[in-house]
Copies of this chain bind each other. A is one copy, B any other.
Amino acid sequence: MSWEEVFRNYLDDKDIRILKLLNQDANISDAKLGKLVGLSKTAVRLRRVKLQNSGILKIVGVVVLQNLGIPYADLLVKLKNDIVLREQFINKLIANDLVYEVTEYMGDWDLLIRLFHNNIAKLKDESLKIISDKAVQDYRISYVVKTYKAWGKSILSSI
């Protein structure tokens, strides 16, 4: 079962190929994309811009923390049943520069929070600071050893 087979429900083959090629190499030009996909560069351009405007495709400059040697950790958090507190807490997380990711779950845990810091001691301090918020009911900390794959692609080999 592949990428294409899932995305086929949402996009046509040419859009899927464009996404796949841009996932492999975000700097590929519209002209090259066109040759590979079988469209004029103008047509590719229109499709690409449409995908970007709809938020399906994002070209992102990502700092790979593990290649810098910066330690990071994931917090699993269970929140109290207070919508206002919950919203304030999430907004605080989004505004916090040291928070790399915030994902909401349905299930035992409410949030996954990924954060980073200079060293493990500071990482723990920041984690404790975050979970001391009154919106938090329970939590678990997991320190990251290594990320093998991210954004749908292996990040160990190649660019």
Interface residues of A (CB under 8 A from B): 1-3, 6-7, 9-11, 19, 21-27, 52-64, 67-70, 74, 90, 93-94, 97-109, 112, 116-118, 126, 140-155, 159
Chain B's nearest CB lies how many Å from the CB of A1? 6
With A68-B10, A68-B56, A116-B6 already in contact, the answer to whether A61 and B147 are too (CB < 8 A) is: no
Of the candidates B27, B58, B140, which one forms a contact with A62 in the assembled complex, judged by CB atoms under 8 Å apart? B58
Q: How far is the CA of A104 from the CA of B73 in the complex (A)?
A: 10
Chain B residues contacting A52 (CB-CB under 8 Å) are: 159
Q: How far is the CA of A53 from the CA of B106 in the complex (A)?
A: 39
Chain B's nearest CB lies how many Å from the CB of A9? 6
Chain B residue nearest to A143 in the complex (CB): B106
Chain B residues contacting A159 (CB-CB under 8 Å) are: 52-53, 55, 58
Chain B residues contacting A153 (CB-CB under 8 Å) are: 60
Chain B residues contacting A112 (CB-CB under 8 Å) are: 74, 142
Known: A10-B68, A100-B150. 15 other contacts (CB 8 A): A1-B98, A7-B63, A27-B59, A56-B67, A57-B63, A58-B61, A58-B64, A60-B60, A62-B151, A63-B151, A74-B112, A104-B147, A104-B148, A105-B145, A109-B142
